[in-house]
Amino acid sequence: MRSVVRMIGRGLRGARRNPLIQLVAVGTIALSLVLVGTVELTAKNVARLAAGWGAGVQMTVYLEDGVPPARVQQIAGALGKLPGVDAVRTVDVHEAWGRLKRSLGTRGDLLDGVEESFLPASIEVTLKPGVAEVIRAHPAFEKLRHTAGVEDVELMGDWVARLRAAETLLHEAGVAVGLLVLCACLYIVGSTIRLGVFARKDEIEILKLVGATDGFVKGPFLVEGALQGALGAALASGLLYGLFRLAQPRLESTLGGLLLGGQALAFFRPAELALAVTAGALLGLFGSAVALGRYVKV
């Protein structure tokens, strides 16, 4: 245990000898990881949005203007009897107007002067799991579109499918960018360690002459690499959180509560951030080990 503590201490002292090089390495790693984090954070929120939409109302039947309440209840009753329907709810123009105003948030004044009758009444239908994917092919769906009093029928499953496709694309992009960043980080850590080795070449030769083992010589450099990776990941987390808090109110105001399904944009959980810092440390450790094995003959 004491040897490990001494090795860490020697690694920290070695890092302090070249603070500018260390800062450049940590900063470059952080900026690279911010790019990966941005893609993954976007994919995370798109996935939450798709899950929220998929779990709620999945079909909306928009009604024509002036449809009598009795006809609305008749259509709603018929929909409620269909197989695969979990719940049916009618939304009048007043409620639709109130929802739209709330979804606009601070921009609710845009509706000043807009009459409530501008928005159509509708019937919201919640479907059982798996029904939304097959209902479009059912004859009842086409019949519903041509039912008297019905203006249009919208399946939320279409939007959910698009969101999930976007989520998949973002995850694939994240993997591609992550691999590029991985190579870049390994190169940065390896180059920094190699510079440190050249700067302490005389010290290393003396240590070898007095009988120092390979592990004793390489240990501090491994600590430096792990420290660079961990600090780079921690700095990237801080930068990404700052950018998120800066953009969150603007994005939520622009998208509105209706598009977000009443959900706030989410950031990574503390456990995910801790895992990222640990992964950064392991990345730095691996990069320094590769550099030592390739360039350092002790």
Per-residue pLDDT tens digits for 227-282: 888 999 999 999 999 999 998 877 776 665 545 555 677 899 999 999 999 998 89
Contact 196, 224 (CB under 8 A): yes
Residue range 171-193: average pLDDT?
80
* Strand-strand pairing, 150-155 and 85-91: unpaired
- What is the C-alpha separation between 53 and 42, in angstroms, rounded? 17
The residue among 156, 178, 211 that closes a domain is 156
Confidence at residue 12, expressed as pLDDT on a 0 to 100 scale: 60
Counted domains in the chain: 2
Q: What is the mean pLDDT of residues 92-104?
A: 70
**What is the distance between the alpha carbons of residues 22 and 171, in angstroms, rounded to a whole number?**
31
CA distance 194 to 223: 14
117 CB neighbour count, 10 Å cutoff: 12
pLDDT at residue 121 above 60?
A: yes
- Give buried/exposed letters for 67-76 (b at 16+ CB in 10 A, else e): beeebbeebb
- 9 and 132 both lie in a single domain: no
Residue 193 shares a structural domain with residue 289: yes
Question: Does one domain contain both 78 and 125?
Answer: yes
pLDDT for position 220: 79
Residue 206 pLDDT > 70: no
Provide the residue type at 191 as one letter.
S
Q: What is the DSSP letter of 63?
A: E
Task: Share the mean pLDDT of the chain.
Answer: 75
Q: Please tell me whether residues 180 and 42 are part of one structural domain.
A: yes
Identify the CATH number of the domain in which residue 97 sits: 3.30.70.3040
Q: Tell me the pLDDT tens digit for each residue of 42-79.
A: 888 877 776 655 555 577 888 888 788 888 888 888 88
Task: Return the percentage of the chain with pLDDT > 70, whole number.
Answer: 64
Looking at the fold, whether 188 and 235 belong to one and the same domain comes out as yes
The average pLDDT across 132-160 equals: 72
Residue 297: CB partners within 8 Å, gap ≥ 6?
Answer: none
Which of these ranges, 16-20, 111-115, 183-187, 280-284, has the smallest mean pLDDT?
A: 111-115
Tell me, yes or no, whether 149 and 183 share the same domain: no
Q: Reply yes or no on whether the pLDDT at 210 is more than 90.
A: no
Q: Are residues 290 and 235 in the same domain?
A: yes
Lowest mean pLDDT among 94-103, 105-114, 241-250, 264-273: 105-114
Higher pLDDT: 80 or 263? It is 80
Verify that 120 and 26 share a domain, yes or no: no
Is residue 159 very low, low, confident or very high in pLDDT (cuts 50, 70, 90)?
low
Question: Over 80: is that where the pLDDT of 112 sits?
Answer: no
Q: What is the pLDDT of residue 28?
A: 87
Domain end marker among 100, 133, 156: 156
> Of residues 268 and 22, which shows the higher confidence score?
268
The pLDDT of residue 242 is: 93
Residue closest to 37 by CA, chosen among 272, 274, 236, 271: 236
170 plus 48 within the same structural domain: yes
How confident is the model at residue 172, as a pLDDT? 81
To the nearest whole percent, how much of the chain has pLDDT over 90?
9
Spatial CA neighbour of 43 closest among 176, 165, 159 = 165
Q: Which of 53, 76, 65 is nearest to 155 (CA)?
A: 53
Tokens 């921690």 appear where?
234
12 close to 223: Cβ distance less than 8 angstroms: yes
* Domain's final residue, options 156, 175, 202: 156
Helices assigned H by DSSP within the chain: 2-17, 19-55, 69-80, 93-104, 139-145, 156-199, 201-209, 214-260, 270-295
**213 has a pLDDT exceeding 70:** no
Residue 234 sits at the vertex; the CA angle it makes with 229 and 236, to the nearest 5 degrees, is 95
pLDDT at 182 over 50: yes
The pLDDT, as a whole number, for residue 274 is: 94
pLDDT of residue 258: 47
Q: Which of 82, 87, 89 is nearest to 138 (CA)?
A: 82
Residues 268 and 124 in one domain: no
Do 173 and 42 sit in the same domain of this protein?
yes
pLDDT for 243 equals: 92
Question: 227 and 170, same structural domain?
Answer: yes
- What pLDDT is attached to residue 291? 76
| Cβ neighbours for 149, distance < 8 A, ≥ 6 positions apart | 63, 64, 67, 71, 72, 75
Domain that holds residue 84: 56-156
* Better-scored residue on pLDDT, 274 or 188: 274
Q: What is the layout of strands, in order, in the sheet containing 150-155?
A: 85-91, 122-127, 59-63, 150-155
